[in-house]
Chains A and B, each alone.
Chain A
């Protein structure tokens, strides 16, 4: 489903499916996801733990490893087919055109190598820099991400750095070769609240300077509202709503999105007896039923919802996968907007 009629999208994903065989069956972590991303655009993917969002971002770089497998769909980056690429070509894309930063900075750096050795690695590999140039660039990168006393930090080992510092180093490594797309998988979840804000600001600034597209995976809606151009809400391996940020927060269309936004406690307004919550538990990715995956927890579910899966379709301003239309009435069959 295409959401823009402008220049060719940087990233174009169609009907992506990623599965993990488990002892109890096949878990469909990503179950038919499509999206377009424009250059420089910032997309947030929101969802609960287990909604498939991390797997989705790994798949975009071809990083889904055994036992997981990409079993369907297509991923095109700048017109190149990621799924068809050989490992060698993928390696020249990773770290250079697409980069990723991960959730846990404490364990994402190699403990036996120095910071310099780790930052320098992508520089040497992708940028063909040598010797002094490389060191100078590494120093520059550390300074860019706001690490004080950068020169000393270069020869430090990861265990000598705090969590926030380590995440900055990882961001520096990811930005080292000026990628066109940054995938950020919950980069602030493991950090203190104050550090979180700094890191998000850092990412926003870097993205702006380098005109980098960002796909930002998170479960924190506050972060989303500050940072994203568009938001995709993910549930049970699928997008259930995709909209521009303002629209999503002001007029959420999908019952799940509505539930998520309603559950954010408000700082002002009348004091609540209880926080609003979405009843029920996370979906079982093994189930693979025929209806809407949110149906068991949906306050406005209809009979149709348990038998037919609603497709993600474009409406005014947002795409929603729900049998209810914007007014809350059951939808008749809709034409899919042309992709």
Chain B
């Protein structure tokens, strides 16, 4: 597996390079003169020159890029234009919250969606299609509910009407009860956004697997149904589910931006949005780069996981 991981990571290098190029170009593609765009029409020539130097805009393009690349490889994401703090530090400070909320949501969604999808498929294969129809219809609707809208509705109901799950205020990890209460709604919203697609893919996958010949073989040898489901069906049905997990992580990341915005969580999404509005482009670049790297890393991880689950895949 280590060899596969290495090989897989190496394969990603061209893409990583491309990502860095795109992020680098973000600043240079601003309309007109980037320095003027950021500093404003009324900035003094001195301020503009200072900004250009700061952002490295006074060098030839290829030198700019090489400098940028070199710094990235050393972990230097530049400085914030707002307060001069290293972008890497700002992002690193905001990352844990995003990871905690996103991670909890991911785990929760799988814990609910997989049994749900499997149960729907299992009962459907025996002829009791009611649960299956219900789950599929519900999944379709829930999948199309905008996460931010759901968040507002939940906030209206729980926070404002019932007074549970505060949606504002600082996060205090030392107070576990309050901490969890503060995170409940955002995690719930994100998890709900994932459940529908995972449940659907699980259901479809399990249903297909249950019609496979090897299930028939297992049954003909006297395997009890629960063992057929868990020992044979789910292990094979897991393959598309693992893949979907990787793909839906992108959606999850997008969702964290919205939930952090609504629930005032100091995560990477809040940093990003604030930076956009204050034209703090180094921060914008840094956060987008990090989000994308996380997505790439998760995709590699799911690939590796896939090879562990399916022995047919060439390592």
Seen from chain A, the residues whose Cβ lies within 8 Å of a Cβ on chain B are 61, 63, 65-67, 87-88, 90-96, 99-100, 102, 104, 107-113, 121-122, 125-126, 157, 159, 170, 173-174
Contacts and interface: CB of A to CB of B under 8 A. Distances in A.
Q: Can you list the 6 inter-chain pairs with the closest CB atoms, starting with the nearest?
A: A95-B221, A95-B222, A94-B222, A66-B127, A107-B213, A91-B222
A159 B314 CA distance: 11
A111 B214 contact: yes
Interface of B: 125-127, 212-214, 216-225, 232, 235-236, 309-312
Contacts of B236: 110-112
B225 A99 contact: no
A67 B232 CA distance: 21
Contact of B217 (A87, A96, A109): A109
A67 B127 contact: yes
Contact of B224 (A91, A110, A173): A91
Given A66-B126, A67-B127, A157-B311, A110 B214 contact: yes
Contacts of B222: 90-96, 122, 125-126
B163 to A, nearest CB: 49
A170 to B, nearest CB: 7
B217 A173 contact: yes
A110 B217 CA distance: 9
A104 B213 contact: yes
Given A66-B127, A104-B213, A111 B223 contact: no
Which among A99, A109, A110 has the greatest number of chain B C-beta atoms within 10 A? A110
Given A91-B224, A159-B311, A102 B216 contact: yes
Nearest to A126: B222
B45 to A, nearest CB: 68
Given A125-B221, A173-B217, 6 more contacts: A65-B126, A91-B222, A91-B224, A94-B221, A99-B221, A102-B216
Contacts of B312: 111, 157, 159
Nearest to B310: A112
Contacts of B310: 111-112
Nearest to A104: B213
B213 A108 contact: yes
Contacts of B224: 87-88, 91
A113 B310 CA distance: 9
Given A66-B126, A157-B311, A157-B312, A108 B217 contact: yes
Contacts of A102: 213, 216-217, 220
Nearest to B236: A112
21 contacts: A66-B125, A87-B225, A91-B222, A92-B222, A94-B221, A95-B223, A96-B222, A99-B221, A107-B213, A108-B217, A109-B217, A110-B217, A111-B214, A111-B236, A111-B312, A112-B236, A122-B222, A126-B222, A157-B311, A157-B312, A174-B220
A173 B221 CA distance: 8
A107 B220 CA distance: 14
Nearest to B235: A112
B228 to A, nearest CB: 10
Nearest to A66: B127
A121 B214 contact: no
B314 to A, nearest CB: 11
Contacts of A173: 217, 221
Which among B213, B225, B310 has the greatest number of chain A C-beta atoms within 10 A? B213
A94 B216 CA distance: 12
Contacts of B235: 110, 112-113
Contacts of A100: 220
A49 to B, nearest CB: 17
Which among A87, A88, A108 has the greatest number of chain B C-beta atoms within 10 A? A108
B220 A94 contact: yes
B127 to A, nearest CB: 4
A279 B198 CA distance: 52
Contacts of B217: 102, 108-110, 170, 173
A95 to B, nearest CB: 4
A61 B125 contact: no
Contacts of A109: 214, 217
Given A92-B222, A112-B236, A173-B221, A63 B216 contact: yes
A74 to B, nearest CB: 21
Contacts of A122: 221-222
A185 to B, nearest CB: 10
Contacts of B125: 65-66
B310 to A, nearest CB: 6
A92 B126 CA distance: 21
Contacts of B221: 94-95, 99, 121-122, 125, 173-174
Given A67-B127, A95-B222, A96-B222, A110 B216 contact: no
Contacts of A126: 222
Contacts of A121: 218, 221, 223
Contact of B214 (A95, A96, A107): A107
